[in-house]
Every structure is written in C-alpha cells, then in structure tokens.
Amino acid sequence: MKRILAATAVTLLAVSATACGSGDSDSGGKTKVVFSYWGSDSRQKLTEAAIAKFEEKNPTIDVEGDFSDWDSYYEKLATKTAAGDAPDVMSIEIRGLGEYAGRGILADVKGKVNTVDLDQGVLKAGQVDGKQYAIPTGVNAFPMIVNEKTLKKYDQKVPDDKTWTWDDYISISQKVTEKSGGDVWGTEYNENPAFLQIFAAQRGEQFYAGGKVALSEQTIKDWWALLQKIIDTKAGPGAAQMLETGTKVDQAMLATNKSAFGSWWSNQLDTLTKGSGQDLELLRMPRTAGASSSGMFLQPAMYYTISSKTEQAAAAQKFVEFLVNDPDAGAILLSDRGLPTNAKVVAAIKSKLSPADQKVLEFMDAIKGDLSPISVPPKGAMEMEDILKRATDSVLFGKAKPDEAAKTFLTEANNALSQ
C-alpha cells in the first residue's frame, strides 16, 4: 500500500476542527448517513441488500453506500478525511485502527453503540488506549486449507493437525507434486504477515511490541528459509509463478485445483470451495518442532467505525448496531465480513450458512483453546504488508541476501511505525 496516510498527515492537521461529516439531511427531510467500504461485486450486492433492510426498518434514515475496490479504498478515504469530509461510518481493517484513531478521525463509541451481546474478548480488539474506536464486523483465523480429494488421489493422508510440523507439511506437499507429474503443486504459499506472525509466535515472539516490530532477524530469515525450501523441494511453485497467481482468492491455486494445500483467511473458504467445486477442509497451521503454541489467532475481519466529526451520530450508531446485532443483517451478510461475534446472530443464521461456513464455525470452536490473544498493531502498520512483501520478494527472487533483507525490512518497518 502506498504511504497514503503519512502523506496526508500534514493536511489532516490543517483541517478545521469544526469540519462536518458527510451525513446531512436529504431533500425528503430524512437523515443521510454515508457508509464507506471496500470489496468485491458480491460484497457490494450483499451490502446494498443490508442497507435496504435497514432503511425499511428505519424509514427516516437514508444510507448512502460509498463503495470502492480494495486497491483504491484507503487512498480515497485518506483524501476525504484530510478534506474534513469523512464518511459517517467507515470500514477499516486492524492495521489501520491505530492510524485512524491516532489522527483523531474516529469517535469513541463506548456506551453509544450497544455491544452487550458481542464477544467481549474480540470487542477489545477495537480499542486503542482504552477507548472503543471500532466495532469488529466478525472474526477470521488464518488456517491451512486442504483439498483432501487431491491428497488421496496422490496417495497422501490428511495430517494430524495437532501434531504436524513444517517438515511434515513440506514432505507431503513435495510428494503430491512428484506423484502428479507436476500437474498439481503440493502447496501454494503467500507472503501475508499473518503467516509470519504465526511462525514467530511458535517461537515465542510477537510481531509488534512497544510500538515497534519485535521479530528477531533470525526468525525472519528462518521464515524465508521455509518459503525457499518449499520452492527448492518443488513442494510449491517458484516465486515468479506465485507472483502471477497474485493475492486474489478466486485466482488461488486451491480455487483452480492446482494445489493441495494453501493458507487463506477462514472467511475465504466459501470462495475457494466454489472455485474448486470440491470440498475443502481447514487445518491448524503446522508447528515448529517443540513449539508449545500453535501461534494461531483470531482477528477481526474488519471494523465498523464512526467519524468523530459526523453530524449524524445517532443515525450512524443505529446503523452500526443494526449491522452487528440484527439477525436480519446477519442473514444477509452471513460470513462475508467474518463470522459474526454476536452469539444470538450466529444462532439465528446458522442454518443459512453455506456448508463451507459451517465448517469455519466448527473449526473456530475447535481451535479456541489454541489461540493467542488479539493484538492491535501500532500506528503505521498499514504499510507492513507492502514492506514485508518487498523484502520477501528480494530474497526469493535472489536479489538480496537474507541477512541484508532482514535488516532492510526491520529498518523500513520501524521507520513506518515511527511516523
């Protein structure tokens, strides 16, 4: 991601404290609330249906959906907030929470939005310095996903995910590639920071601590060595082929039946399943030999936040409450923004969830005792994925030695966090 927020910091400081939010009254005398969010065409359709249901229940409020694709979302949002025209309700992700809260863009909604039925542990992941700036839309985990039919076809068994190691994972994947004659890769992989976070936690390291990256150079290098081993053993494809696949879930090798394993966010299982046309299963991530922790964690899929400058706070709060507490909203949105953290909503919509989402629900329940606490990244973390990807690619494409790349990553990452 571009250094959008850092670039707009000066502009933000120049914005008048009296600037108003987007919400206003329309020509019909109704209260208008602007809701910004990103996603796919399918998410837009679901969101528009949820908005229509809210307006049906609240005829004095009009909600205007401000939709963007992922690539342009934060640039557009940064421009609006810098101009004092922040949407009344904004979707943000966990990496942006510290940034937006720190800039004074978000309202503290504690005691203003009804959160009594939400998972209180997950709710804490919307807090910065003890203030409730964000309401989680739902939760995700970052598991290993497997196509059991592909494993069986190439004479491999599904591993015991409570005991398997990274070496086991690579060995099984290598055999799939070999037995398929190269038609199918054993695994695809990605450079998501969640992968590194899990790998590091198994070694007792946090990704962030004290406002800085807390990873050791050795752990970063060992993670790159794991990715390199996947490539070198042909357990998975080379860096160039993975770059072509990209980060879009519908292009994933799992979705096109070109791999047996892959790691994706749990709310993407339904898309992967539909793409492959086959049943896929969720597994705990492999462990470092001797690790006492799985390293896995729950994370809010994203958040609903309210502008600190909105003139329509009551209507904005009512809309957010509808999205997280109303079974009618849950029945429309289902797991699109992660599985709801409101147990009453989950109970009401469980029968409507797809078979894939039912699996996610069961998996989340099964692993809850293995999970690390949710940690909100510090301000500046929005750049982390790009910084990590640049460093990882430099190693996997042979453009930099791991020692050099690890130092570069930590320098760039901590510089971003200190802005």
DSSP string, 10-57: HHHHHS-TT---S-EE-TTS-EEEEEEEE--HHHHHHHHHHHHHHHHH
Domain 4-137+301-352 adopts which CATH fold? D-Maltodextrin-Binding Protein; domain 2 (3.40.190)
Establish whether domains 4-137+301-352 and 144-296+380-417 are of one fold.
Answer: yes
Contacts of 18 by beta carbon, 8 Å cutoff, 6+ apart: none
Q: Where residue 26 falls among pLDDT bands split at 50, 70, 90?
A: low
Q: Could you report the per-residue pLDDT of 199-245, keeping only the tens digit for each?
A: 999 999 999 999 999 999 999 999 999 999 999 999 999 999 998 87
- Is the model's pLDDT at 72 over the cut of 90? yes
Q: Could you report the per-residue pLDDT of 297-323, keeping only the tens digit for each?
A: 999 999 999 999 999 999 999 999 999
Percentage of the chain lying above the pLDDT 70 cut: 93
Boundaries of every domain in the chain: 4-137+301-352, 144-296+380-417
Does domain 144-296+380-417 fall under CATH 3.40.190.10? My reply is yes
* The model's pTM: 0.89
- Is the model's pLDDT at 13 over the cut of 80? no
- Is the model's pLDDT at 288 over the cut of 70? yes
Q: Could you report the per-residue pLDDT of 111-130, keeping only the tens digit for each?
A: 999 999 999 999 999 999 99
Closest CA to 229 of 106, 13, 380, 396: 396
Q: What is the 3 state secondary structure string of 264-323?
A: CCHHHHHHHHHHHCCCCEEECCCECCCCCCCCCECEECCEEEEECCCCCHHHHHHHHHHH
User: Quick one: pLDDT at residue 414?
Assistant: 96
